[in-house]
Amino acid sequence: MKPLNRRDFLKKAAVSVLGGTSILAGCQSKETAEGGAPAVHTRKKYQWRMVTTWPPRFPVLGESAELIAKWVEEMSEGRLTIQVYGGGELVPPLEAFDAVQQGVAEMGHAASYYWAGKAPASQFFAAVPFGMNAQQMNAWILSGGGWDLWRELYADFNLVPFPCGNTGVQMGGWFNRKINSVDDIKGLKMRIPGLGGKVIKKAGGSAILSAGGEIYTNLERGVIDATEWIGPYHDYLMGFPKIAKYYYYPGWHEPGTVLEMFVNKSSYEQLPKDLQEIITTAAIRSNSWMLAEFDAKNTLYLQKIKSEFSTQILRFPDSVLKAFRQYAKEVLEEITAEDPTSKKVYESFAKFHKEISTWSAITEQVYYQDIAG
């Protein structure tokens, strides 16, 4: 399909409105006591587009976008319908942010660290190396002020952000060389986005950003030596066990990655309040569904990888994790020193992380270490 530019899109929108896409529902009310005109209740219909960074119909991530569209249509009784486009179907995957900002599409579905080149602070709303897990990220965003900061950041781009999922703690990645020390990272070409990619650069490697649909081919052909993605379910489906020997854990770089839905702010503000709330409700429903789906599927597919392939599943050496942690600290110091907005966001993130870790240390941590089977 040929991508639509903004001019074509607006022309089609204008024709749609002039063609009568709104209908009247309800009847005239009694005149007001002041003798005003009769009130008329309208049920205008809206047809929106959502672009994603994921391949079409991509498991879990693409499914989330499709489910959001389905739930919105059902809850609105058809007043708001959303056509979902996979990466490349309407715009290239990593141009989704610009497309929604410019109004070529009204909605997008992605991970916010893809936009680090546009807004460095966006990375903190996806994942921070050695940072918070999924439960803690949800607490910060939904109840700790994170969402307010996120909205403030995206408002400058004419966007409204929503959390719409989480991967949980990821795996550390697939490698075609064994990692015995941090020196083994030198010269390594790894597909890894966000702050984790900057850590790899600090360690002497090269961080490469590529869309999900390109990773297998790049790894198979040697364009990259290693890749991180998410976890066993996706990694199995994407074929990584066929072309990489070593599967490392833990996912130090993404301990609880938040997925985002973002909406064109101008379009969002033109919606009736009930449709705005329906969009929010669908995003939060997806936020819960996605984490549950990943946990359930990763459990099954880790066993499939173990039973069907000769993959070596290895823990990163402590010395490597220690070096990564130090590099992560340096990366964060540099970003927050250069960008005032990143400093503001990270201060909120770090304060919340410190406080919630005190609680987690006597609950979650003790449970997993000393009580769970």
Q: What is the mean pLDDT of residues 339-363?
A: 97
pLDDT at 67 exceeding the cut of 90: yes
- Tokens standing for 330? 């340096």
Q: Indicate whether 265 and 120 sit together in one domain.
A: yes
Q: Is residue 154 part of a domain?
A: yes
The C-alpha atoms of residue 150 and residue 138 are separated, in whole angstroms, by 13
Q: Indicate whether 239 and 126 sit together in one domain.
A: no
* pLDDT confidence bin for 42, thresholds 50/70/90: low
Q: What is the mean pLDDT of residues 158-183?
A: 97
pLDDT at 28 exceeding the cut of 70: no
Q: Indicate whether 123 and 267 sit together in one domain.
A: yes
The C-alpha atoms of residue 297 and residue 295 are separated, in whole angstroms, by 6
Residues with Cβ < 8 Å from 322, sequence gap 6 or more? none
Half-sphere exposure of 80 (CA within 13 A, CB side): 25
pLDDT at 51 exceeding the cut of 90: yes
pLDDT tens digits along 196-237 = 999 999 999 999 988 777 899 999 999 999 999 999 999 999
Q: Indicate whether 222 and 97 sit together in one domain.
A: no
pLDDT at 111 exceeding the cut of 70: yes
Q: Is residue 99 part of a domain?
A: yes
Average pLDDT, the chain: 90
Q: Is residue 368 part of a domain?
A: no
The closest of 248, 62, 61 to 170, measured between CA atoms, is: 248
CATH code of the domain in which 84 resides: 3.40.190.170
pLDDT at 367 exceeding the cut of 80: yes
Q: Indicate whether 211 and 238 sit together in one domain.
A: yes
pLDDT at residue number 7: 52
Where in the sequence is the domain holding 103, given as residue range(s)? Answer: 7-25+44-165+256-295
Q: Indicate whether 185 and 237 sit together in one domain.
A: yes
CATH code of the domain in which 229 resides: 3.40.190.10
pTM: 0.86
* pLDDT confidence bin for 8, thresholds 50/70/90: low
Q: Indicate whether 199 and 283 sit together in one domain.
A: no
pLDDT at residue number 15: 40
Q: What is the mean pLDDT of residues 52-76?
A: 97
pLDDT at residue number 36: 47
pLDDT tens digits along 300-347 = 999 999 999 999 999 999 999 999 999 999 999 999 999 999 999 999
Q: Indicate whether 283 and 326 sit together in one domain.
A: no
Q: Is residue 360 part of a domain?
A: no
- Overall number of domains in the chain: 2
Q: Is residue 1 part of a domain?
A: no
Percentage of the chain exceeding pLDDT 70: 88
pLDDT at residue number 11: 46
CB of 81 within 8 A of CB of 48? Answer: yes
Percentage of the chain exceeding pLDDT 90: 84
Q: Indicate whether 251 and 267 sit together in one domain.
A: no
